[in-house]
C-alpha cells in the first residue's frame, strides 16, 4: 500500500544549530538552564525554522472531524449524532476549542473529513469529506486504501494552503465519537502494547463499559490480524480524521511548520506518521498528557517524556494544544528579547 502514500520530503533538522541556539540562550541574564523546558522549546522552534530568532506567525488550529462505524458497537457512551452537532458548535463559537482559540488568538478552522451530515458553507469550515464516516471495523476495514490516500492528500493540501498564507505553527485537534477506540487500536497494533494498556474511558465509560470496549477492540484487532504495516493498520483500524491528521502532520513537517500535538487521538496520528517518516517527530511539540488511559504510554513510545502540560484534560478538539500556545510564545519571546550578560552589564558566575 506504500505507493498510495503521496510523497513527502521531510527536511532533516540541523544538529549544529541546536548547539548555537542553546549557546544564545546560555548567554542570557539568568542562571544556566534556569528556564528549564522553555529553553529546549525555543531551541526546537529555531531549529525547525533554521533561524536564531524563531517567530510564531499566524498560528492556526485545525480540528478534523469524522464519524466512525465502530461507534455502532457501543464503544462510546455518547451517540454518533454528537459529531455533526459539535461541528456546528465549533462553527457557532460555543465549544471549548472555540473559546480557547479566542483566548490565545489562534485562527480556528474546522475540517469535515468525513462526518455523516451535510453542512452549509461557513467561513470557518473546510468541507472536504472523503465519505460519510468509516465502515465498522468489526465487520470490514474502516477505510479503503483509496480513501486513506485521499484523506492523507486532503490533510496535506489544507496544510500547504496555510503554509502559503504564512502560518508557521499549527495546532491539531479532532472530533469524532468513537475515535478514542480507533486511536487505541492503532496504538495497540503499531506499538504491540496490549489493548488494556491502550484503551481508556474516552468520554466517560464506566467499568463495565470499558470492559466491553476492550473486548470489542480485541475482536477488531483479531479480525484485521494481517494489517501490520502503518498504512494498512490505518485503513483497517483508523478514521478519516486520523488519516487527514497524518497527511497534515507529514505536510507540516515538509514545510518546516511546528506542530502542536493535542491529546490521545492526535498523538495516535503522530504515531502513524512517524512510522512512515520518523523525521516528523522533530517538528512535534507534545502539548500535554491527557487523562485518557494510554496517552502517557503512547507519548513514551514517541520519546516524549515531558509533555508541556499535565492537567487531566480528556477532551480532545485541540484544547491542550491551544492551552500550550502561550508557553511556546513565551519561550520564543524569552530567546528573542532577553538581554545577554554583555548587553546588560550583568556579572557572570564566579565559580
Ligand X SMILES: Cc1cc2ncn([C@H]3O[C@H](COP(=O)(O)O)[C@@H](O)[C@H]3O)c2cc1C
Ligand Y SMILES: O=C(O)c1cccnc1
List for the chain the helix, strand, coil content (%; round to 5): 50, 10, 40
Rounded Cα distance between 101 and 106, Å, is: 5
Q: Other CB atoms closer than 10 Å to residue 340's CB: what's the count? A: 13
Catalytic residue among 39, 241, 292, 317: 317
Characterize 42-66 residue by residue with b for buried, 16 or more Cβ atoms within 10 angstroms of its Cβ, and e for exposed: bbbbbbbbeeeebebeebbbbbbbb
C-alpha grid cell for residue 12?
Answer: 532533516
Q: What is the DSSP string of 190-242?
A: HH---HHHH---TTT--HHHHHHHHHHHHHHHHHTTT--SHHHHHHHH--HHH
Query: Helix, strand, or coil here: 188?
Result: helix
316 binds ligand X (CB under 6 A): yes
263 binds ligand Y (CB under 6 A): yes
Q: Does the annotation mark 317 as catalytic? A: yes
CB of 71 to ligand Y, least distance (A): 13
174 binds ligand X (CB under 6 A): yes
- The smaller minimum CB distance to ligand Y, of residues 254 and 267, is found at 267
Q: Most distant CA pair in the chain: distance in Å?
A: 70
84 binds ligand X (CB under 6 A): no
141, 155, 178, 202: which one binds ligand Y (CB under 6 A):
202
177 binds, among ligand X, ligand Y, none (CB under 5 to 8 A by kind): ligand X
Contact region with ligand Y (CB under 6 A), list: 50-58, 59-67, 159-167, 312-320: 312-320
317 binds ligand X (CB under 6 A): yes
CA angle 135, 215, 241 (to 5 degrees): 35
83 binds ligand Y (CB under 6 A): no
Per the CB < 8 A criterion, the answer to whether 45 and 54 are in contact is: yes
- The smaller minimum CB distance to ligand X, of residues 82 and 135, is found at 82
- The smaller minimum CB distance to ligand X, of residues 44 and 76, is found at 76
182, 292, 304, 308: which one binds ligand Y (CB under 6 A):
292
- The smaller minimum CB distance to ligand X, of residues 232 and 241, is found at 241
176 binds, among ligand Y, ligand X, none (CB under 5 to 8 A by kind): ligand X
136 binds ligand X (CB under 6 A): no
C-alpha grid cell for residue 21?
Answer: 541556539
267 binds ligand X (CB under 6 A): no
44, 49, 76, 116: which one binds ligand X (CB under 6 A):
76
Per the CB < 8 A criterion, the answer to whether 205 and 116 are in contact is: no
- The smaller minimum CB distance to ligand X, of residues 185 and 249, is found at 185
181 binds, among ligand Y, ligand X, none (CB under 5 to 8 A by kind): ligand X
134, 150, 191, 290: which one binds ligand Y (CB under 6 A):
290
Which residues, at least 6 apart from 146, have a Cβ–Cβ distance to it below 8 Å? 4
Enumerate binding residues for ligand X (CB under 6 A): 76, 78, 82, 86, 174-181, 202-203, 315-317
Catalytic residue positions?
317
Amino acid at each position: 500500500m506504500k505507493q498510495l502514500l503521496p510523497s513527502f520530503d521531510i527536511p532533516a533538522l540541523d544538529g549544529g544549530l541546536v548547539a548555537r541556539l542553546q549557546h544564545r540562550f546560555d548567554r542570557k541574564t539568568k542562571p544556566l538552564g534556569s528556564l528549564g523546558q522553555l529553553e529546549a522549546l525555543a531551541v526546537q522552534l529555531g531549529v525547525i525554522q533554521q533561524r536564531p530568532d524563531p517567530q510564531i506567525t499566524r498560528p492556526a488550529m485545525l480540528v478534523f472531524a469524522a464519524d466512525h462505524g465502530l461507534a455502532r458497537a457501543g464503544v462510546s457512551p455518547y451517540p454518533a449524532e454528537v459529531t455533526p452537532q459539535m461541528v456546528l458548535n465549533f462553527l457557532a463559537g460555543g465549544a471549548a476549542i472555540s473559546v480557547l482559540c479566542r483566548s490565545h488568538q489562534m485562527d480556528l478552522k474546522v475540517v469535515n473529513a468525513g462526518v455523516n451530515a451535510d453542512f452549509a458553507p461557513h467561513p470557518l469550515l473546510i468541507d472536504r469529506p472523503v465519505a460519510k464516516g468509516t465502515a465498522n471495523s468489526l465487520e470490514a476495514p474502516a477505510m479503503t486504501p483509496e480513501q486513506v490516500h485521499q484523506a492523507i492528500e486532503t490533510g496535506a493540501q489544507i496544510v500547504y494552503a496555510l503554509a502559503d498564507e504564512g502560518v508557521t505553527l499549527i495546532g491539531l485537534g479532532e472530533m469524532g465519537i468513537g475515535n478514542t477506540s480507533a486511536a487505541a487500536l492503532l496504538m495497540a497494533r503499531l506499538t504491540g502494547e496490549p489493548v488494556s494498556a491502550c484503551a481508556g474511558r474516552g468520554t466517560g465509560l464506566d467499568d463495565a463499559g470499558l470492559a466491553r470496549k476492550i473486548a470489542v477492540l480485541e475482536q477488531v484487532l483479531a479480525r484485521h490480524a494481517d494489517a501490520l504495516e502503518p498504512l494498512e493498520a490505518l485503513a483497517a483500524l483508523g478514521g478519516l480524521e486520523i488519516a487527514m491528521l497524518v497527511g497534515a502532520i507529514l505536510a507540516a513537517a515538509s514545510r518546516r511548520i511546528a506542530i502542536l500535538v493535542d491529546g490521545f487521538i492526535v498523538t495516535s496520528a503522530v504515531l502513524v506518521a512517524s512510522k512512515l517518516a520518523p523525521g516528523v517527530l522533530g517538528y512535534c511539540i507534545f502539548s500535554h498528557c491527557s487523562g485518557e488511559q494510554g496517552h502517557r504510554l503512547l507519548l513514551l513510545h514517541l520519546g516524549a517524556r515531558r509533555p508541556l502540560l499535565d492537567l487531566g484534560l480528556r477532551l480532545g478538539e485541540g484544547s491542550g494544544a491551544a492551552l500550550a500556545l502561550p508557553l511556546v510564545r513565551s519561550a520564543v519571546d524569552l530567546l528573542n528579547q532577553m538581554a545577554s550578560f554583555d548587553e546588560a552589564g550583568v556579572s557572570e558566575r564566579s565559580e
